[in-house]
C-alpha cells in the first residue's frame, strides 16, 4: 500500500508531521544594489516579477542555490542563492554577482553565426538566428539545473537561451560554467561542441561524477531531453562526447500530464540522472529516465567514461532496464542517497515525492509515495540531498507556462525533511 505522510497542507510552515516548508514565495524578488537599480529594471522590462519562476536547487554549506530560467522576458538573475535559516520569503542574491547575471542589450552586442538551435517547450517558437556576445565567461544566461560536487565546485548548465516562450534569443552555445565555491571565482567555462548538439537539442541538467580524492578526474553527465542523447564531459581532458541509445527517448504512452487542472502533453526524453555510491570495484551505477516515461534504466559509469566504447554501435546491451515505477509516475528529477541506498524522485502527475530501495527489484509494489499535496507539491520540479536532508522545490510550472499564476497566492516552495524521517514507515525504510 502507498504510504502517505502528507494528509493535508493546512499549516503554512509544515506538511504533515515532519516535512517542513523552509521557504515560500508569491513572487520572487532580489537583493538589488539599490532602489534606483530595481526601479530602472522594472521600467525597462529587465525585471518582470511574474515571469521569475524558480526551477532548480542545490545546497552547499549555508547557501541554497536557486535557478530562475529565462522562460520569459524580465528575469532579473538566473543563478542565485539564499542563506539557509533566513526569512521565509527571502530575496534572492545573484551568484556570483549581479554583473555575471547581466544580459547585454542588442546595442551592446555583436551578431555571429550560431552553431546551435533551441527547442524549449514543444509549442515554443524557434530561437532567432543570432548569437549575442557574452560580456565574459562568467556570464550566466539561463540555468535550469545545477550541481554541487564533493570538491566544493558549482557546476552550472547554462542553456545560453533567453525568453524561451516569447521571442527566443541564443546568447551563446550551451555550456558548463564551473565555479570554485570557496572563492566564488570562475574555474572554467566549456562550450559544447557542434557534434554534441542536434537540431532539437535542449541541454538543461547536469550531474557530476567525481571521487573527492581525485577532483581533476571529474565527469559531467548532461542529458539532452529534446535531442534524446547524453553528453559526457571530462574535466581532466576538457573534452566531451555524445552518446545515443533507444532508452534516452520518451515513452509515447507516458506523455500525458494533468497538473494543477492543466492538461498537456510533453515529449521530453532523458532528463533525470542519479549516481549510486562507489561500489567495491570503484564503479558507480548511473540511473536515468526520460521525463515522459515511467521506467528507470541504468548503465555503468565505466561505459559512459570510455569515449571509444560509449560512442560505438556495440554498447547497446550495456544499458539495462531497472524496472517500472507504476502508472502516472513521471519524474522530473531523482537523487540517490548513498547512505541508505534509496532513490528519491519527484512525481509530477501525483503532486508528490516517491522512493525506491535499490536493494529490492523496482516495481510498483516496491516503490512508495512518501509525500503528496495538490497545493504544496503542485509540480515538484527538483530535489537534492545534502547532509542527510532531502530538499524539494515545487513551482506550479504548468500553470506558469500555459495559464498564469496569481500574485495573491503562494506559488513557489522549498521543503525539506531528514532522509531517515522521509522513509520511516515506508517500504523504502
- CATH number where 136 lies: 2.120.10.30
Question: In angstroms, how far is CA 305 from the centroid of its own chain?
Answer: 22
Buried/exposed code over 354-372 (b: 16+ C-beta within 10 A; e: otherwise) = bbbbbeeebeeebbbbbbb
Estimate to the nearest angstrom the gap between the alpha carbon of 334 and the chain centroid. 10
Determine how many CB atoms are found less than 10 A away from the CB of residue 166.
Answer: 16
- Rounded mean pLDDT for each run of 10 residues along the chain, 429 residues in total: 36 51 98 96 96 98 98 97 96 97 58 37 50 82 98 98 94 96 98 96 98 97 98 98 98 98 98 96 96 98 98 96 97 98 98 97 97 95 98 98 97 97 95
Three-state secondary structure call for residue 382: strand
Query: Nearest-CA neighbor of 378 among 356, 407, 405?
Result: 405
Q: Does any domain span residue 2? A: no
Q: How many CA atoms lie within 13 A of 391 on its CB side?
A: 18
**C-alpha atoms less than 13 angstroms from C-alpha of 417 in its C-beta half-sphere:** 23
Classify residue 242: in a domain, yes or no.
yes
**Residue 115: how many other CB atoms lie within 10 Å:** 13
What pLDDT does 122 receive? Answer: 56
Phi, psi of 351 (to 5 degrees): 50, 45
Residue with cell string 544580459: 103
Q: Confirm whether 117 is domain-assigned.
A: yes
In the β-sheet with 239-244, what is the strand arrangement from edge to edge? 207-209, 219-224, 229-234, 239-244
Number of H helices, E strands in the chain: 5, 30
Domain span at 286: 14-423
Compute φ and ψ for 308, nearest 5 degrees: -60, -45
Q: Is residue 7 domain-resident?
A: no
pLDDT value of position 104: 67
Predicted local distance difference test score (pLDDT) of residue 19: 84
Q: Please give the pLDDT value at position 282.
A: 87
Q: Residue 1 falls within a domain, yes or no?
A: no
How many domains does one find in the chain? Answer: 1
In a domain, 241, yes or no: yes
pLDDT of amino acid 131: 53
Amino acid at each position: 500500500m502507498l504510504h502517505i505522510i502528507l494528509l493535508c497542507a493546512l499549516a503554512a510552515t509544515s506538511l504533515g508531521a515532519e516535512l517542513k516548508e523552509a521557504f515560500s514565495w508569491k513572487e520572487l524578488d532580489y537583493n538589488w544594489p539599490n532602489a534606483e537599480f530595481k526601479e530602472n529594471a522594472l521600467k525597462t522590462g529587465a525585471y518582470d516579477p511574474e515571469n521569475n519562476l524558480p526551477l532548480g536547487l542545490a545546497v552547499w554549506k549555508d547557501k541554497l542555490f536557486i535557478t530562475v530560467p529565462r522562460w520569459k522576458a524580465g528575469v532579473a538573475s538566473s543563478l542565485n542563492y539564499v542563506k539557509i535559516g533566513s526569512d521565509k520569503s527571502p530575496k534572492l542574491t545573484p551568484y556570483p554577482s549581479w554583473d555575471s547575471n547581466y544580459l547585454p542589450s542588442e546595442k551592446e552586442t555583436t551578431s555571429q553565426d550560431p552553431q546551435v538551435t533551441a527547442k524549449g517547450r514543444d509549442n515554443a517558437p524557434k530561437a532567432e538566428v543570432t548569437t549575442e556576445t557574452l560580456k565574459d565567461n562568467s556570464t550566466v544566461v539561463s540555468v535550469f539545473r545545477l550541481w554541487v560536487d564533493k570538491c566544493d565546485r558549482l557546476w552550472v548548465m547554462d542553456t545560453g537561451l533567453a525568453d524561451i516562450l516569447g521571442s527566443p534569443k541564443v546568447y551563446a552555445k550551451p555550456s558548463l560554467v564551473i565555479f570554485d565555491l570557496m572563492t566564488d571565482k570562475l574555474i572554467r567555462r566549456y562550450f559544447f561542441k557542434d557534434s554534441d548538439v542536434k537540431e532539437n537539442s535542449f541541454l538543461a541538467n547536469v550531474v557530476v561524477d567525481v571521487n573527492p580524492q581525485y577532483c581533476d578526474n571529474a565527469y559531467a553527465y548532461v542529458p539532452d531531453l529534446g535531442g534524446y542523447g547524453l553528453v559526457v564531459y571530462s574535466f581532466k581532458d576538457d573534452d566531451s562526447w555524445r552518446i545515443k541509445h533507444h532508452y534516452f527517448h520518451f515513452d509515447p504512452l507516458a506523455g500525458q500530464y494533468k497538473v494543477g487542472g492543466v492538461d498537456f502533453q510533453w515529449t521530453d526524453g532523458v532528463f533525470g540522472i542519479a549516481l549510486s555510491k562507489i561500489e567495491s570495484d570503484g564503479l558507480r551505477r548511473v540511473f536515468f529516465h526520460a521525463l515522459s516515461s515511467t521506467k528507470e534504466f541504468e548503465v555503468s559509469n565505466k561505459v559512459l567514461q570510455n569515449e571509444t566504447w560509449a560512442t560505438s554501435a556495440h554498447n547497446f546491451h550495456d544499458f539495462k532496464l531497472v524496472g517500472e515505477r507504476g502508472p502516472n509516475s513521471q519524474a522530473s528529477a531523482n537523487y540517490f542517497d548513498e547512505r541508505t541506498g534509496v532513490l528519491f524522485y519527484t512525481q509530477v502527475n501525483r503532486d508528490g515525492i516517491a522512493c525506491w530501495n535499490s536493494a529490492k527489484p523496482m516495481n510498483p509494489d516496491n516503490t512508495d509515495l512518501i509525500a503528496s499535496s495538490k497545493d504544496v507539491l503542485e509540480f515538484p520540479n527538483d530535489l537534492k540531498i545534502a547532509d542527510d536532508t532531502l530538499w524539494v522545490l515545487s513551482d506550479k510550472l504548468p500553470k506558469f507556462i500555459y495559464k498564469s499564476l496569481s500574485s495573491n497566492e503562494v506559488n513557489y516552495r522549498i521543503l525539506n525533511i531528514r532522509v531517515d524521517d522521509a522513509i520511516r514507515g515506508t517500504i523504502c525504510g
